[in-house]
Amino acid sequence: MSTAVWWIRRDLRLTDNQALASALAQADQVIPVFVMDPGLWKAHEAAKRQAFLIGGLRQLDADLRERGSRLIVRHGDPRDALARLVAETGATALTAERDYSPYARRRDGRVVRTLPLGLIDSLTVHPPAAVVKADGKPYTVFTPFSRAWKSLTPPALNLVLPAPERISTPANVTSDPLPTQPALPATVPFVPGEAEAQARLAAFIDRDDPPVYRYGEGRHRMDLDGTSQLSPYFRFGMLSARQAAVAAYSAIESAPDGPSRQSAETWLNELIWREFYVSILYHFPDVLKQAFRSDLRDIPWRNNEREFAAWREGCTGYPVVDAAMRQLSETGWIHNRARMIVASFLVKDLLIDWQWGERWFMQHLVDGDPAANNGGWQWTAGVGTDAAPYFRVFNPVLQGEKFDPHGGYVRRWVPELAGVPDKFIHKPWEMPADMQKKSGCVIGQGYPAPMVAHALARERALAAYRRVRS
């Protein structure tokens, strides 16, 4: 019997898995293998994300066993581990989903030189090399990128591959155990695995009066569940990009009215933003090391360690910033609007290098993805492709008042402010002294005073940016 190896990396699913389908088409038996790569797996780093990944692998193993297969785990350098597996089993084919990060491309380049590795473009709906200008150059601005993306043939509903009913795997293949580490903390609001990803997508798209039709107005509100919260599942491929895009197109076509259709189109654009940042990382891998804009690589950062610690711990004195940073530490996730607010505060109000924040996010985010995380930080800092203008500085008070208008988000994550009236919830330092005592929040005692004056910090940041640009 012929044998193929399905090398699992960021595609922990059976539904619409094109790499798995390729392996099944080439052989009678398929060996699903995950290689614990020491180049990626570092102890005590990104603990929540690693726990989510391990949980997803355990669920994948259970799904495979229901189909007569099982997950094989090997440790070590992928090239060596796969070479041993191929030699042991006599496999004649090796398939994997192509990844576009610099590390993944180097790793796969080493493997393909000695093994019959076939890479399948399914991490994104359209691979980065397909969404380029007429002259073959990459887009560096989102709007023309999205137009070019949409001009390509959209994925049809019948392209989404169902999970195979059975996968035959040789019984004599040995497997290493998965790492033993603490389970995913109960504070993390994401259940690992494909089944949960499918349920969340269905709840967002398929039920009566689906949330996708309110996404346009609700996606910025931090006090509401207005987003799909699918990002951790995209991060590890527990849901395919193609299935999500098909769902978005279906919602657009079925929309009952103009606003609903526009909301569904907005969600599709967010999926395209993910692909835009993958494309940027593919074409410009140096963005992981430096700002895309060469004229903004030498900003005179203050990089005050004490202030960075206050930002990390959610003790800046600005309620919406503190709420977001505490939520990040506890749950491993924060709303995209909150990410922009805290990033702007770190970079512009505190003049701390955006790469410090980028690293902190990657250590804590369950959905931490190098392309999206880097793209988001460079956008907010004003130093990346299609970035916000450098002079755009988020006012944390106004952002809180607009996107957490009743203070529900702040009160949930900053309990010291639970008794503060709505009028002052985003600027508690303006409360009269007697009201501070009455609310149980005395500024400087129960809750810190603002660590910087926003208006002055904004001018300081703009001056620093102007100096380096000139």
Q: What is the largest CA-CA distance in the chain?
A: 82
Q: Is 86 left (phi over 0), alpha (psi -120 to 50) or beta?
A: alpha
DSSP character string of 251-314: HHHH-SSHHHHHHHHHHHHHHHHHHHHHHHHHH-GGGGTS-SSGGGS-------HHHHHHHHHT
> Is 374 a known active-site residue?
no
> Is 333 a known active-site residue?
no
The token duo for 226 is 């207005």
The token duo for 237 is 């491929």
Catalytic residue among 41, 217, 269, 301: 301
> Is 311 a known active-site residue?
no
Q: Is 16 left (phi over 0), alpha (psi -120 to 50) or beta?
A: left
Catalytic residue among 273, 311, 379, 413: 273
The token duo for 311 is 């930002």
> Is 379 a known active-site residue?
no
Contact by Cβ (8 Å): 74, 176: yes
Catalytic residue among 269, 270, 304, 395: 270
Closest CA to 8 of 76, 97, 70: 97
Across the beta sheet with 3-8, the strand order is: 72-75, 29-36, 3-8, 93-97, 117-120
> Is 270 a known active-site residue?
yes
* Cα atoms in the 13 Å half-sphere on the side-chain side of 440: 7
CA distances from 290 to 99, 169, 376 (A): 21, 45, 14
Catalytic residue among 311, 333, 354, 379: 354
Whole-angstrom distance, CA of residue 328 vs CA of residue 229:
14
What is the Cα 248 distance to its own chain's centre? 18
Helices (H), 39-101: 47-65, 78-89
Neighbours of 114 (CB within 10 A): 12
Catalytic residue among 377, 379, 401, 413: 377
Contact by Cβ (8 Å): 386, 298: no
> Is 66 a known active-site residue?
no
Neighbours of 66 (CB within 10 A): 12
What is the Cα 155 distance to its own chain's centre? 22
The set of catalytic residues is 270, 273, 301, 336, 354, 377
